[in-house]
């Protein structure tokens, strides 16, 4: 069984992905970490994010073994950088085979990102599109960053989220959008537990 979860930044899709994977005993992949890792390598090597060829080379040779353990991938700056490199078609092509292979695990898989239900696994058994108001997403990201001891300004985070939404939804390569057969879940007024219960209902209703 494959569960595809898409949605904009800080909508709660990552948290839902993890909880659904734990509930069903499935493997989980936050595909956004792949693009964050590409951006991190470029930044570590002082290579401009605008260098598409370098970004593609990094993606083709990316070490994916410790993505979940790399705390540097979680910051707002890396998310913004990932939004830049993820717009490059060659980068997406380089990471596509790995994502599709991950979803083919016999034990089941949950993948979350921006184009899982539309490009990566359009054959997914269940497709969720998780969204929330930009202001609420900015509040969540603000709390998250403060909780990690990082300095954060709400207004700047809101501006970044709106800019990322604009870039992700209007890029020519795999734009952020709900698949035609996806179920949209607005988590603006839901806490994590309530969002999980709603998502669980959707999955159970669509399980083959």
Identify how many contiguous H helices and E strands the chain contains and give both numbers: 8, 5
What lies within 8 Å, CB to CB, of 48 at 6+ separation is 42, 54
Binding residues: 7-15
Long-range pairs of 119-122 with CB within 8 A, sequence gap ≥ 24: 119/92, 119/174, 120/4, 120/31, 120/96, 121/2, 121/4, 122/179
Binding residues for ATP: 7-15
**Residue 167 vs residues 15, 160, 183, 201: alpha-carbon distances, Å:** 23, 10, 23, 32
**CA-CA distance, 35 to 148, in Å (whole number)?**
22
The answer to whether 43 and 166 have CB atoms below 8 angstroms apart is no
């Amino acid at each position: 069984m494959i569960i595809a979860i898409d949605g904009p930044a800080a909508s709660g899709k990552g948290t839902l992905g993890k909880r659904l994977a734990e509930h069903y005993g499935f493997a989980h992949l936050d595909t956004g970490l792949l693009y964050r890792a590409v951006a991190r390598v470029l930044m570590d090597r002082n290579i401009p994010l605008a260098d598409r060829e370098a970004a593609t080379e990094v993606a083709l040779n990316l070490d994916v073994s410790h993505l979940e353990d790399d705390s540097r991938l979680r910051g707002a700056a890396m998310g913004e950088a990932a939004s830049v490199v993820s717009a490059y078609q060659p980068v997406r092509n380089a990471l596509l085979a790995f994502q599709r292979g991950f979803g083919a695990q016999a034990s089941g898989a949950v993948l979350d990102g921006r184009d899982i239900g539309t490009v990566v696994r359009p054959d997914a058994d269940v497709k969720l599109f998780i969204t929330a108001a930009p202001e609420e997403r900015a509040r969540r990201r603000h709390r998250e960053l403060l909780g990690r001891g990082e300095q954060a300004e709400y207004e700047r985070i809101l501006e970044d989220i709106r800019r990322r939404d604009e870039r992700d939804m209007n890029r020519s390569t795999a734009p952020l959008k709900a698949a035609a057969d996806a179920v949209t879940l607005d988590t603006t007024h839901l806490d994590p537990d309530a969002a999980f219960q709603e998502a669980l209902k959707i999955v159970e209703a669509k399980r083959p």
